[in-house]
Amino acid sequence: MTIFREPMLFWEPMLLFPLLALLIPVGILIGQHWQRGPLVSLSAGAALGVVIYLALTWSSFTVDYYPVYPYSTVETLMLVAGLLVVGAILLLGALALAFTDALRERRRVWAIVQCALVYVSFVGMLGFMLEPVRFCGELPSGTYCSPPDVGRFALFAALSLAGPIATLAYALLAQGRAAAMPASEQPEGLTI
């Protein structure tokens, strides 16, 4: 591998990114003891990833000077970008489980609502990447940034959280309905 050292400077840290996907089996194993546990854990994980990303991004607005826009170091930039990637990965897993469950339970309205809100979430996440919330410029003394566009930040935050909240709400409501139904009662005339 040493012969790759010179021309391939950044590929080694990039191989860590696929490891983030292993959070999906971790979430599934955590929640496997409950009926919709994997869906709850993946949705909650996605929401948590997005919330921490938002908190770190917001906290970065309190600083005026950035060696690496908009975060203080390359490591911070990688960490914060990784959080959004984690949110997106877990949200995709949650969408697959929630949509399969909703179709099986014949809750078609929930299925459509979840798809729409997950799409909205990805629009919000892409918005954070493609539409800067604040603009920065290079000066001889360093990089200086304009005040953040709070309205745009709030819009992207709301959009990004819509999907995880929808799948989490579906999982908890479905779990609540299942718990409220009498489990031992069988339909009349059914013999096993």
Partner 1 sequence: MFFETFISWWHVLLYPLPLIVIPLAVGLGRFVRGGALTVLSVVALLAFGAFWFGMRDYYTPTAPFGYSPSTLIVMFAVIAGAPLLLCAWTVALVQAARRRQWVWLTLLCVAVYISAATLVFFEATPYALCLLDPGAFCPQGIQSGQSTLAIFMASSFIAPVTLLVYSLRTGTQRQARALPDGLRVTRLTTEES
- Whether 178 contacts 40, CB under 8 Å: no
CB of 134 to partner 1, least distance (A): 14
Indicate whether 135 belongs to the interface with partner 1 (CB under 8 A). Answer: no
Residue type, 132: P
96 binding partner 1? (CB under 8 A): yes
The number of C-alpha atoms within 13 Å of 42 and in the hemisphere containing its C-beta is 27
140 contacts partner 1 (rule: CB under 8 A)? no
Decide if residue 21 touches partner 1 (CB under 8 A): yes
Q: In Å, how far are 12, 78, 147, 173 from 8, measured between CA atoms?
A: 8, 18, 37, 49
The DSSP output letter for 60 is: H
Residues 58, 158, 94, CA angle at the centre, nearest 5°?
A: 110
Please, what is the minimum distance in Å from the beta carbon of residue 17 to partner 1?
6
For position 157 contacting partner 1 by CB under 8 A, the verdict is: no
Near partner 1 by CB under 8 A: residue from 84, 111, 157, 174: 111
Q: Select the residue interacting with partner 1 from 77, 113, 115, 172 (CB under 8 A).
A: 115
**Cα–Cα separations (whole angstroms), residue 130 to 57, 126, 134, 143, 152:** 15, 6, 12, 20, 12
Rg (CA), the chain: 21
Verify binding: residue 133, partner 1, rule CB under 8 A: no
> Closest approach of Cβ 142 to partner 1, in Å?
26
Nearer to partner 1 by Cβ, of 32 and 59: the residue is 32
Smallest gap from Cβ 174 to partner 1, in A, equals 15
Which residue has 């591998």 as its token pair? 1
15 sits near partner 1 (criterion: CB under 8 A): yes
Alpha-carbon distances, residue 25 vs 19, 20, 65, 125 (angstroms): 11, 10, 39, 23
**Footprint of partner 1 (CB under 8 A):** 3-4, 6-8, 10-11, 14-15, 17-19, 21-22, 24-25, 28-29, 32, 38, 42, 89, 92-93, 95-97, 99-100, 103, 111, 115, 118-119, 122-123, 126-127, 130-131, 151-152, 187-192
